[in-house]
A and B are shown apart, each in its own frame.
Chain A
Amino acid sequence: MQIEITLTAPSGCGYSARDLGFLLHKHPDHLHVRDLPQGKGRMFFSSAAAEEATAVLHLEIDPVGLVRGKGEGSGMLDQYVNDRPYVVNSLMSVALGRVLGQTLAGKSKERSDLASRALPLRLRLTPLAVSGGAEIVRRLFSPLGYEIAIGTLDNSGRLEILDVSLSAEVRLSDLLTHVQVLIPVMDNATHYFVGPDEIEKLLAKGVGWLETHPEKELIVWRALRRRSELARPALDRLAEGVVEPLVHDAPQQETSAQDGEALLERPTRLHDLRLNAVRDVVVEAGARSVLDLGCGEGRLLRLMMRERQIDKITGVDPSVRTLEAAARRLNLDEAGAALRERVQLMLGSLTYADRRWGGYDAAALVEVIEHVDPPCLSALELSLFDVARPKLVIVTTPNRDYNVLFDRMAAGELRHGDHRFEWSRAEFADWAQGVAERNGYTPEIRPLGPEDETVGAPSQMALFRRAA
């Protein structure tokens, strides 16, 4: 990876382009080598005429060291086949600080006048892989007054490999600062851990341009690694004293795939509605023990815990990590014996039967069944309706008919990447009817959420009551 800095000296400008050497503190006729933690930085001038001079900073990253670390400790990467040694990324930002620290600070012993004035400069970054592509480069640098030239070097992978040049009349230290801050933003990654001290660094480097940058949310969000506990205070501080609409949420394109479903359904607050509906059914049925199958981090469990009539609440999930998160969110680790007795979490899976599931009054599967592969539905039916046989089973699942109303969804697309299917109202009713008949239950189907005349409600719920 490398960056190239070109200074031109139009006739009558009063300086020589070779003065770039003074600004960078590097003699134009020499090769400058600097050892860096992850490799070597080399700086040399590929041309150094009076009219135009180009300085090159090339980083040679040690690809084995990135994986193995130095000596005993393990490295930062798992995979040797990795673009990190080759594309411009935060390693370059760090190298800039190390190799061109004086320049970034705007200092030049011999040419301090040039250091403090805007010069016709061009900076080239190559190769560059930008999360979001060329469009993001433009959104980041155009507002800062740069003219942008973008070439595509390769487009075989998911991200294009770009060759980007930025030109402007700009102070060299400003140019380098912009680039240093925005490299990890374009790359959308850092090779180091981002903690609270990163807020200060970002705000200090952003003085004079970040406050008013129209994409500052994107910049802050990405620079602080999408950690909202860091990004929100940073944005608040940037907004102080600046008259501008207040910040709400992260920009839309920054939502990860997992958040997609929540985002789609957000206007209706559908999930809360579902949980409340399930809770109401359980309470109405007079259930005293409840099994929450696929409990996730425990939102339904929390609702159930508030109900005095329920004295046994069990959450089941296949993931150890999810259950640990649920225990934390419900404070079960610090709870007293009575609560620990009442609320229990256990590992389990819907495609296996489980002897511990016997004897419950009610079982709930809230937005779970659509994560089960269709061939495994028969195992689910057996384990739940034939072996465990709770008196009441509640199943909620998206209504596929409703998907046409989500304008951000393509036809045939599912609401979540891990959904193995989504049922139309007819399909759901059909399945429920069959399960009920085969296992001695009485089914009832209810819509969940505001109903549309033709496509129904966004979600649907089936109640199965066991024949006495």
Chain B
Amino acid sequence: MKITIPDFALVILIGPTGAGKSSFALKHFLPTEIVSSDACRAIVSDDETDQSATRDAFDLLEHTAGLRLKRRKLTVIDATSVQPRDRARWVALARRWHALPLALALDIDPELCQQRNQDRPNRQFGSHVARNQSRALRQGLKRLAREGFRQVQLMKTPEEVAALEISREPLWTDRRGEVGPFDIIGDIHGCWDELTALLDKLGYQRDPYTEGEALLSARHPEGRRAAFVGDITDRGPRNLDCLRLVMGMCAEGAGFCVMGNHDHKLARWLKGRNVKLTHGLDLTAAELEAVSESFRKQAHDFLDNLRSHAWLAGGGLVIAHAGLKEEMHGRGSGEVRSFAMFGETTGEVDEFGLPVRLDWAKAYQGKAEVIYGHTPTLEAEWLNNTLCIDTGCVFGGKLTALRWPEREVVQIPAARVYVEPKRPLGADTTRSAQQEHDRLLYFDDFAQKLRIESRFGGAILIPEENALAALEVMSRFAVDPRWLIHLPPTMAACPTAPEGPFLERPEQALAFYAKRGATTLVAEEKHMGSRALIVVCRNVAAAEKRFGTEDGKAGVVYTRTGRPFFRKEAQETELISRLRDAAYRAGLWEELNTDWLLLDTEIMPWSAKAQELLQSQYLPTAAAAKASAEALMAAIGEDGPPELAELRVAAARKGANSAALQKTINGYCWVAESLDDHLVAPFHLLAAEGAVFSDRDHSWHMQTLARLCEGDPILLATRWRVLDAEDANAQADLTAWWEAHTGVGGEGMVIKPIRFLAQGNRHFLQPAMKVRGRDYLRLIYGPDYDLPENIERLRQRNLGRKFSLAEREFKLGLEGLHRFVERAPLRRVHECALGVLGLESEPVDPRL
């Protein structure tokens, strides 16, 4: 005997003790698929026959089986399950997780069972046990189907048990192997003109129209398939024709359809059930009464066989008439079927007399994109990875299709209003459904260990304590999360120079990249100011439209930890408007076809943001070091004893070092009262509408930004050059430039592979590396760091962790930006910003 079972189900073995359930189970299922009551008894009590532990053992069994079902794993329950009340518990469990409950009953002669028990040392119970269990089993056998089991297999002898073969197949809804491309088409409701126009627009080749009841069909020359979200008929003018076309396309394999509530009701009517001819069914019924009995039978069979939903493309796409919660994807139960057809309602009715629907999409957080219809809306709008494509064609709206995976919306406006909608299709708001939803983020979505999938390879883990620390900082100091679309990564220092008075030299950075196969590099001057991310929009309306913000701003300037950059909001407003004008002058708005830009910049002077550090740390240290050295020199005097001469020379050197520190600091400080006293140096043009510019190389960024910088004196174009890491002349030129620049107080240089996203010989390459000047490093390592006794110790620095941190932050930052550009839910954008902030609390030497 061969049977086939779904590859996701809850299999309940039924049979008296000694019937051979456990060995049967082991023969057909993985050991990990089997949850046995005896094993659970042993786990909780060390004794698998301890009947006093039964209650706890069954709690454990239920819990374990539940967790497996939650993860969509086939599960076998190995317990006697001869009593209806025991089985009821397992049926309920299966329903809870939308798994099909199956019964495999081993109705073995109780005498034989008893005999087997006698042979086993821990089963020395009286013969009545197997006998009673067998009687209970036989009494219940007939009712199994009524108890809710979807498949029942009975085996009456050990021979039958031995002969059974079990094969598995996917559930009907599990069509993960089909990857598209698809053209998903919304609720048709008999709108023949619009349907055919839409198919034409989508590129389908239609058979010539014929009168009568023969099936019609259409197919796409490139093999794309149409996917109908259901509700083919009712309310509209040509229900029969629509049905003929959809049926024909499905029969030919050029399309498929999931079950809509109207399709379900029509099938019932066709079967002769007592159905009210309301909601437009009257029109369909009238058309179908005019055709042959055999067509009606064919239509019935077609509709009756429609599936609740389709789980497609490796689990990345779900099509269901009324949408589907994540926990129901690729599963089967009455609840799944009902949800997929009707959605979830509260039982209340609204002011138009229509049922109040729970908006499952608001709570949806799944990875699969769910495309659905059922609820007519004005526009097809993404919300949390879901899209409703019922745009109310029959109510005078549009018939909508979604090209997938292109995510392109294709629409045909309704020729006229066929039926007046009871409820208006929706108010016209500036904010999209997603933005309306994203006005608020949920703390509990982030207060946990975060695992953030990045398209640049692998997932990035943020430990819970880091996430919590980041949340605290975010909630106390950060700008509105809707603005916070990106936090920049930290940058690693170059490998340490091996000798001499320098800790960092360009040669090390060049060698680092050359060794890893990146020879074309860019070197950019590094500015000493404060990092600032700037979102600039064309105007406030554009900002509100794209970012969903409500603060009346046309942009924002924030620090690398997400805090507002300027204390005075007026300065922020002024900078945004000047950048906007500069972008007009450079023609960037048209060229990039965008209403917004994200710039990565350095804003100078350093003193504008770093007053507190300057006052409490840098200036006092420099002054004290100088005073200390001078006091010693004065005490020794010009012509002190010879034994003090050496000490005086050392003091003089330290005095010079502290003066160099003061001079370096002063170079980064000036009074910046008005915005005009600042300098803004952009160095990455990170993103604009529809694009993250990590696909452009750094020369594009620098050239484009140089044009922007021409538009306003407050903008400073960064000096940069391209070089070949292996060309000795270029190296020498670069080193000379670096020495000249850092010799007059410049911070140093940033060296990057020319490609924004650089792949090394094997790994992702460090996206950038800083090479800081000798005097600048006094700000980092103290005034006297380059004295021989100090620098040799400082050369011992651990760059590995910093490299790893910089790489993870870089991936996360870009991931977040891509998500924003793709209009992902804010939660998924915010998660990346939070991740970068969380990573920053890792213990890594802050001086690197």
A contacts, CB < 8 Å to B: 1-2, 4, 29, 31, 42, 44, 46, 54, 56, 58, 63-64, 68, 78-83, 85-87, 126-127, 129, 153-154, 156-159, 161, 163, 318-320, 347-356, 371, 375-376, 378-379, 382-383, 386-387
> Shortest beta-carbon distance, A465 to chain B, in Å?
23
Does residue B820 face the partner (Cβ distance < 8 Å to A)? Answer: no
A349/B631 in contact, CB under 8 A: no
B interface: dominant SS: helix
> Shortest beta-carbon distance, A72 to chain B, in Å?
12
> Shortest beta-carbon distance, B154 to chain A, in Å?
47
Q: A352 and B440 in contact (CB under 8 A), knowing A1-B628, A80-B785?
A: yes
Does residue B761 face the partner (Cβ distance < 8 Å to A)? Answer: no
Q: What is the CA–CA distance of A352 and B480 in the complex, to the nearest angstrom? A: 11
The 7 closest A-B pairs by CB, nearest first: A349-B475, A154-B623, A157-B620, A127-B627, A86-B624, A352-B443, A80-B782
B contacts, CB < 8 Å to A: 439-444, 446-447, 465, 468-469, 471-472, 474-476, 479-480, 550-551, 614-621, 623-628, 631-632, 635-637, 640-641, 643-644, 647, 778-785, 790, 793-794, 846-847
B444/A356 in contact, CB under 8 A: yes
Closest to A55 in B: B635
> Shortest beta-carbon distance, B61 to chain A, in Å?
26
Known: A63-B790, A161-B620. 13 other contacts (CB 8 A): A29-B641, A31-B644, A64-B790, A64-B793, A85-B628, A87-B624, A87-B628, A127-B627, A158-B616, A348-B447, A349-B471, A353-B442, A375-B551
A58/B635 in contact, CB under 8 A: yes
B471/A347 in contact, CB under 8 A: yes
A353/B443 in contact, CB under 8 A: yes
Which of A42, A158, A320, A349 lies in contact with B647, CB distance below 8 A?
A42
Which of B472, B617, B647, B847 lies in contact with A318, CB distance below 8 A?
B472
B441/A353 in contact, CB under 8 A: yes
List, in ascending order, chain A residues with CB within 8 A of B783's CB: 81
Closest to A65 in B: B793
List, in ascending order, chain B residues with CB within 8 A of A158's CB: 615-616, 620
Residue with the highest number of chain A CB atoms closer than 10 Å, among B443, B472, B551 = B443
List 5 A-B pairs, Cβ < 8 Å. A4-B635, A81-B783, A83-B617, A158-B620, A352-B442
Which of A85, A129, A354 lies in contact with B443, CB distance below 8 A?
A354
List, in ascending order, chain A residues with CB within 8 A of B778's CB: 81
A375/B479 in contact, CB under 8 A: yes
A379/B624 in contact, CB under 8 A: no
List, in ascending order, chain A residues with CB within 8 A of B615's CB: 157-158
Q: A157 and B637 in contact (CB under 8 A), knowing A63-B790, A382-B440?
A: no
B627/A154 in contact, CB under 8 A: yes
List, in ascending order, chain B residues with CB within 8 A of A46's CB: 635-637, 640
List, in ascending order, chain A residues with CB within 8 A of B550's CB: 378
A interface: dominant SS: mixed
Residue with the highest number of chain B CB atoms closer than 10 Å, among A4, A127, A354, A371 = A127
Closest to A374 in B: B551
List, in ascending order, chain A residues with CB within 8 A of B624's CB: 83, 86-87, 127, 129, 154, 161
B439/A348 in contact, CB under 8 A: no
A375/B635 in contact, CB under 8 A: no
Q: What is the CA–CA distance of A54 and B631 in the complex, to the nearest angstrom? A: 14
List, in ascending order, chain B residues with CB within 8 A of A320's CB: 465, 468-469, 472
A82/B784 in contact, CB under 8 A: no
Closest to B612 in A: A158
Q: A161 and B551 in contact (CB under 8 A), knowing A347-B468, A376-B480?
A: no
Q: What is the CA–CA distance of A78 and B625 in the complex, to the nearest angstrom? A: 18
List, in ascending order, chain A residues with CB within 8 A of B439's CB: 378-379, 382
B443/A64 in contact, CB under 8 A: no
List, in ascending order, chain B residues with CB within 8 A of A350's CB: 475
> Shortest beta-carbon distance, B20 to chain A, in Å?
45
Q: What is the CA–CA distance of A392 and B512 in the complex, to the nearest angstrom? A: 63
> Shortest beta-carbon distance, B472 to chain A, in Å?
4
Which of A1, A81, A375, A376 lies in contact with B621, CB distance below 8 A?
A81
Q: A80 and B847 in contact (CB under 8 A), knowing A1-B628, A2-B632?
A: yes
Q: What is the CA–CA distance of A375 and B479 in the complex, to the nearest angstrom? A: 8
Q: A318 and B476 in contact (CB under 8 A), knowing A352-B440, A354-B443, A355-B444?
A: yes
> Shortest beta-carbon distance, B143 to chain A, in Å?
41
> Shortest beta-carbon distance, A142 to chain B, in Å?
24
Closest to B780 in A: A80
Q: A348 and B793 in contact (CB under 8 A), knowing A82-B621, A86-B627, A158-B616?
A: no
B479/A126 in contact, CB under 8 A: no
Q: What is the CA–CA distance of A378 and B624 in the complex, to the nearest angstrom? A: 48
> Shortest beta-carbon distance, B665 to chain A, in Å?
9
Which of B446, B618, B627 lies in contact with A153, CB distance below 8 A?
B627
> Shortest beta-carbon distance, A466 to chain B, in Å?
19
> Shortest beta-carbon distance, B501 to chain A, in Å?
15
Q: What is the CA–CA distance of A319 and B640 in the complex, to the nearest angstrom? A: 59
Q: What is the CA–CA distance of A129 and B626 in the complex, to the nearest angstrom? A: 13
List, in ascending order, chain A residues with CB within 8 A of B626's CB: 154
B623/A64 in contact, CB under 8 A: no
A383/B440 in contact, CB under 8 A: yes
A81/B468 in contact, CB under 8 A: no
Which of B480, B623, B779 lies in contact with A81, CB distance below 8 A?
B779
Q: What is the CA–CA distance of A68 and B637 in the complex, to the nearest angstrom? A: 34
List, in ascending order, chain A residues with CB within 8 A of B480's CB: 375-376, 379
Closest to A1 in B: B628
> Shortest beta-carbon distance, B335 to chain A, in Å?
22
B475/A159 in contact, CB under 8 A: no
List, in ascending order, chain A residues with CB within 8 A of B782's CB: 63-64, 80-82, 85
A161/B793 in contact, CB under 8 A: no
List, in ascending order, chain B residues with CB within 8 A of A161's CB: 620, 623-624, 627
Closest to B636 in A: A46
> Shortest beta-carbon distance, B774 to chain A, in Å?
15
Q: What is the CA–CA distance of A78 and B780 in the complex, to the nearest angstrom? A: 11
Closest to A86 in B: B624
Q: What is the CA–CA distance of A467 and B690 in the complex, to the nearest angstrom? A: 45
A86/B628 in contact, CB under 8 A: yes
List, in ascending order, chain B residues with CB within 8 A of A353's CB: 440-443
Which of A1, A82, A85, A379 lies in contact with B617, CB distance below 8 A?
A82
Q: What is the CA–CA distance of A157 and B669 in the complex, to the nearest angstrom? A: 13
List, in ascending order, chain B residues with CB within 8 A of A82's CB: 617, 621, 782
B471/A318 in contact, CB under 8 A: yes
A319/B472 in contact, CB under 8 A: yes
Which of A63, A127, A352, A375 lies in contact with B441, CB distance below 8 A?
A352
Which of B623, B631, B780 lies in contact with A2, CB distance below 8 A?
B631
Q: What is the CA–CA distance of A44 and B782 in the complex, to the nearest angstrom? A: 27
Q: What is the CA–CA distance of A356 and B631 in the complex, to the nearest angstrom? A: 63
Q: What is the CA–CA distance of A156 and B627 in the complex, to the nearest angstrom? A: 13
A126/B780 in contact, CB under 8 A: no
> Shortest beta-carbon distance, A161 to chain B, in Å?
5
List, in ascending order, chain B residues with CB within 8 A of A378's CB: 439, 550
Which of B619, B790, B846 lies in contact with A157, CB distance below 8 A?
B619
A156/B619 in contact, CB under 8 A: yes
Q: A126 and B468 in contact (CB under 8 A), knowing A352-B443, A387-B440?
A: no
Closest to A154 in B: B623
Q: What is the CA–CA distance of A2 and B636 in the complex, to the nearest angstrom? A: 12
Q: What is the CA–CA distance of A379 and B627 in the complex, to the nearest angstrom? A: 52
Q: What is the CA–CA distance of A85 and B641 in the complex, to the nearest angstrom? A: 26
> Shortest beta-carbon distance, B561 to chain A, in Å?
14
List, in ascending order, chain A residues with CB within 8 A of B641's CB: 29, 31
List, in ascending order, chain A residues with CB within 8 A of B793's CB: 64, 68
Closest to B620 in A: A157
Q: A159 and B443 in contact (CB under 8 A), knowing A46-B635, A81-B782?
A: no
Q: What is the CA–CA distance of A352 and B447 in the complex, to the nearest angstrom? A: 11
List, in ascending order, chain A residues with CB within 8 A of B616's CB: 157-158
Closest to B363 in A: A355
> Shortest beta-carbon distance, B111 to chain A, in Å?
52
> Shortest beta-carbon distance, A253 to chain B, in Å?
18
Q: What is the CA–CA distance of A164 and B504 in the complex, to the nearest angstrom? A: 40
A126/B627 in contact, CB under 8 A: yes
